[in-house]
A and B are shown apart, each in its own frame.
Chain A
Amino acid sequence: MEKVIELLNRMQAEGVIENFAIGGGIAAIYYLEPYNTDDIDVFISPVVVSQGGLVSFGRIYTYLQDLGYHAEREYIRIEDWLVQFLPAAEPVQEEAVAQAKRVKFAEGHTLIFSLEHLAAELLRSGRPKDHSRVVALLESDQMEMKVFRDIIRRNDLDEKWRAFASRFDQEV
């Protein structure tokens, strides 16, 4: 993963991407116990969306292809990892990128969603596996509930949180 981190930092330094943060499974593993996942979700911001709703990742793909890394479906393989670039299109994702946590990895640093933003984004996403990770994050005793509740409120996720809390026996 060192190579991926090195490349992301290089892309940011060279202006290929402006802001980024790792979310998804790898971010969850930063806070929880390790489990199997084979991709790295990299959220980027700002995102330029065309009138037709299309997002262009052309610059990123060209940059990486010039370095010898090729696309595999919606991913780009960098060494052993499948990296997916995702637009931080939802307000909670945008906020998660803007307020990402700087974490050390090997000789470098990278940016990862904060625990509270990760939980809020997983709650928004709402697939069963996302919900099970929210439960694990809540049970990890690392979550600052006031920060989490503020994120929920700012990003109009109250309804999803109430439904989740009632289903998983959490205090609203």
Chain B
Amino acid sequence: MSSEPFDPDKIRIADIFRAKEQRRKELAKLPFEKKIEIVKRLQTLASKIQRVKKRCAEEAK
């Protein structure tokens, strides 16, 4: 991403993808233990979503 001040009206598509790529690379550099902590949080969230989805499906019957 450019070092110029962020202007939401002047976003270049290439910058969006570059920033996403940069973010992925930063996350990839995290220590393994930290990544596993994130995975655990994602698992908890996924399981909560599953429970809510199941409840909604049952209520819709």
Contacts and interface: CB of A to CB of B under 8 A. Distances in A.
Task: State whether these chains interact.
Answer: yes
A91 B33 CA distance: 30
B30 to A, nearest CB: 7
Interface size class of A (residues with CB under 8 A): 20 to 34
Nearest to B42: A36
B42 to A, nearest CB: 4
A30 interface: yes
B27 A34 contact: yes
B28 A36 contact: no
Contacts of B35: 29-30, 33-34
A105 B32 contact: yes
Interface in B12-36: 21, 23-25, 27-28, 30, 32-33, 35-36
Contacts, number: 45
B52 interface: no
Contacts of A1: 36
B40 to A, nearest CB: 7
B38 interface: yes
A119 to B, nearest CB: 14
B39 interface: yes
Given A30-B32, A106-B33, A140 B40 contact: no
A81 to B, nearest CB: 9
Contacts of A140: 25, 28
B46 interface: yes
A29 B28 CA distance: 8
Interface string A23-54: 00010011111111110000000000000000
Contact of B32 (A80, A103, A136): A103
